Chains A and B, each alone.
Chain A
Amino acid sequence: MMGEMYVIETQDLTKYYGKDRGIIDLSLEIEEGEIFGFIGPNGAGKSTTIRTLLGLIFPTAGNGRIFGLDIVKQTKAIKKQVGFMPSEVNYYAKMDGHELLQYSASFYNTDCESRIRDLAEIFALDLDRKIVDLSRGNRKKISILQSLIHRPRLLILDEPTSGLDPLMQAKFFDILKEENSRGTTIFLSSHTLSEVQKNCRRVGIIKEGKIIAVEDIETLRKKQLRRIQIEFAHPVQGEEITCLGMIASRADRNILSFMYSGRMNDLLEALAGKDVKDLIIEEPSLEEIFIHYYSDEKEDSRKV
């Protein structure tokens, strides 16, 4: 074998829809057994990435491999081992849940009957109803079952929890953890950061078609970014303090709040001569780190 094998590996994967940008030079390496979060706002290229990986669309440039197999040329062999949940569920309206799942199962050479029954019970799903009569949440449940019944080695989930109520979301993540403990690799695309924060070990952030960071969730949180709030004895005037690494500062009467990525000593020095009534230093949420990445990028591009 060639060195280390990743479950998903892309090199400069690029997709343009005519002149419209899909994804640009996307390089990812996802290890076996990990739960990888893939976050970015709508239109950033999450679904484009997933559709390219699954062979629904073809890359303009670059290449990708899943289980070491080429995503363009060996897509059938790849899909034998992949379970996929789309963000919007569209199934054959006239089929009932059971028919749809049997049709889905028929493509894999394994008996899925008992698995279908077990999962339907967990999710309290009535399989005798026609797809057309199901609510969005119930269709989503069918989609969950459909992605799991053949026990895939890789799960690709495109915003899987949208439309699911919190109770079902919890059950869903329980199942994912169970699958993951069996060795299933999970690629979870989401724009809900708390979801990724809670369930993933690593996260890739995509913006305007480009990966802007791939980090361990822990590292990302431990990055020297802090949320700082200072209460002065007097109303904040103009640029009360200036310090390298201050981002998004906001003044509200006596209170100055901002994100800070500089050295603590510098900040303390800047505050030394001031009349400070209160100082709060907090660890930011992933969301704030995420926004920080974005604003950072924007400032960079302005400089250029």
Chain B
Amino acid sequence: MKVNTNIYSKELKRYRNSFIAWSVSISVLILMEMAFFRFLIKGDMLNLMKIFFENPFWKKALAAFGWSADGLTNILGYYGARNAIYILLLGIFFSILLAGKILALEENEKTAEFLLTKPVTRLEVVRSKLAAFITYLLLLNIIILAIGFTGLEIFKGDSDYRPVAFLIYSSYSFLLMLAFGTIGLFISLLMKRGRPITNISIGIVFGGYLIDILSRVTASTEKFGYLSPFKFIDTGVLRPDYGLEWWRVLYFLGLSFLLITLTFIIYKKKDILI
């Protein structure tokens, strides 16, 4: 599994500024959200929101992501619920957009002609770019973990939480982002001459999100939800038995592995038309 360090370090450099911008934005958002928790507890916000929790549709919809009147009064429950909407989605966008262009841009900007006439194999190119992508995704998740943990500690007040549950939730987040990233990588490969997949990516993420939410509202649509990767993340951070479940982990890793393998197979044989 040889990675070409020239390509790897060039890719890291190329996307460094974009990575910094995403990391800073997400970090600031996490801290703002956490600060808002104190406001929520001190003010009478939760009572005002009761209307939502009493409406059966909204109750179910909100419960789908761990939103409940009780859950929101706990700092980790609050983190999980808010995070599912803001941070997780942002992280997924970072992932799918980066993976969607890290390989495809070479064709789109016609630099593939330069790169692929150097002494590198196609597989080394994919591997090196994949390595750069995973490096940034891991770094982003480490930052989210660190900032999230800091936020929890600063703003928890007298609300208590299990750090392990936070760690598990963060692992699920990472796996979900990884899975969406590999979806982006794979789809970008199918586009003619590396056309940008930004719109498709956004569609896939929101589509998946919507499928998951709708599937949780009624029992009849429950199975439908398994079409969406969102279905496989467990947001019930406050459950005492909350833990990493092997079938969820297997799903994320399996999906990622499958898409990466398909990417290798297709890219190895692909005509680079410029």
Chain A interface residues toward B at CB < 8 A: 17, 51, 54-58, 75-77, 79-80, 82, 84, 86, 88, 90-94, 103-104, 106-108, 146
Instruction: Check A56/B269 contact, CB under 8 A, given A90-B110, A93-B109, A103-B10.
Output: no
B47: min CB distance to chain A, Å:
53
Q: Could you tell me if A106 and B6 are in contact, using CB atoms closer than 8 angstroms?
A: yes
What CA separation (Å) do A55 and B120 show in the bound complex?
Answer: 11
Instruction: Check A56/B119 contact, CB under 8 A, given A103-B6, A106-B6.
Output: no
> In chain B, what residue has the closest Cβ to A81?
B119
Instruction: Check A90/B271 contact, CB under 8 A, given A75-B121, A76-B120, A107-B6.
Output: no
Q: Could you tell me if B117 and A56 are in contact, using CB atoms closer than 8 angstroms?
A: yes
Chain B residues in 8 Å Cβ range of A108: 119
Asked whether any CB of chain A lies closer than 8 Å to the CB of B272, the reply is yes
Asked whether any CB of chain A lies closer than 8 Å to the CB of B18, the reply is no
- Interchain Cβ contacts within 8 Å, total number: 60
Chain B residues in 8 Å Cβ range of A75: 121
Q: Could you tell me if A79 and B273 are in contact, using CB atoms closer than 8 angstroms?
A: no
Chain B residues in 8 Å Cβ range of A86: 113-114
Q: Could you tell me if B119 and A91 are in contact, using CB atoms closer than 8 angstroms?
A: no
Chain B residues in 8 Å Cβ range of A107: 4, 6, 118-120
Q: How large is the interface on B (under 10, 10 to 19, 20 to 34, 35 or more residues)?
A: 20 to 34
Chain B residues in 8 Å Cβ range of A104: 114, 118
Q: Could you tell me if A80 and B113 are in contact, using CB atoms closer than 8 angstroms?
A: no
Chain B 1-41 near chain A by CB (<8 Å), digits 1 or 0: 00010100010001000000000000000000000000000
Contact of A90 among B4, B10, B109, B269 (CB under 8 A): B109
* In the complex, the 6 A-B pairs of residues with the closest C-beta atoms, listed nearest first: A90-B110, A107-B118, A57-B271, A106-B6, A79-B119, A80-B119
The secondary-structure label for the interface of chain A is loop
The secondary-structure label for the interface of chain B is loop
A130: min CB distance to chain B, Å:
14
What CA separation (Å) do A153 and B149 show in the bound complex?
Answer: 58
Asked whether any CB of chain A lies closer than 8 Å to the CB of B45, the reply is no
**Between-chain CB contacts (< 8 Å), 8 pairs:** A54-B117, A57-B272, A79-B118, A90-B111, A90-B274, A92-B109, A103-B6, A107-B119
Chain B residues in 8 Å Cβ range of A106: 6
Instruction: Check A56/B116 contact, CB under 8 A, given A90-B109, A90-B110, A103-B6.
Output: yes
What CA separation (Å) do A103 and B114 show in the bound complex?
Answer: 11
A86: min CB distance to chain B, Å:
5
B274: min CB distance to chain A, Å:
7
Chain B interface residues toward A at CB < 8 A: 4, 6, 10, 14, 109-114, 116-121, 269, 271-274
Q: Could you tell me if B111 and A92 are in contact, using CB atoms closer than 8 angstroms?
A: yes
> In chain A, what residue has the closest Cβ to B110?
A90
Chain A residues in 8 Å Cβ range of B116: 54-56
Q: Could you tell me if B117 and A58 are in contact, using CB atoms closer than 8 angstroms?
A: no
A11: min CB distance to chain B, Å:
20
> In chain B, what residue has the closest Cβ to A147?
B117
What CA separation (Å) do A107 and B10 show in the bound complex?
Answer: 12
Q: Could you tell me if B111 and A79 are in contact, using CB atoms closer than 8 angstroms?
A: no
Q: Could you tell me if A76 and B114 are in contact, using CB atoms closer than 8 angstroms?
A: no
Chain B residues in 8 Å Cβ range of A92: 14, 109, 111, 114
List 9 other contacts, CB 8 Å, given A77-B119, A90-B110, A90-B114.
Answer: A55-B116, A58-B269, A88-B110, A88-B274, A92-B14, A92-B111, A93-B109, A104-B114, A104-B118
Q: Could you tell me if A56 and B271 are in contact, using CB atoms closer than 8 angstroms?
A: yes
Contact of A56 among B109, B111, B113 (CB under 8 A): B113
What CA separation (Å) do A91 and B274 show in the bound complex?
Answer: 13
What CA separation (Å) do A146 and B6 show in the bound complex?
Answer: 16
B171: min CB distance to chain A, Å:
35
Chain B residues in 8 Å Cβ range of A80: 119
Q: Which of B4, B119, B274 has the most CB of A within 10 A?
A: B119
Instruction: Check A91/B273 contact, CB under 8 A, given A84-B117, A103-B6.
Output: no
Chain A residues in 8 Å Cβ range of B114: 86, 90-92, 104, 146
Q: Could you tell me if A58 and B10 are in contact, using CB atoms closer than 8 angstroms?
A: no
Q: Which of B114, B120, B273 has the most CB of A within 10 A?
A: B114
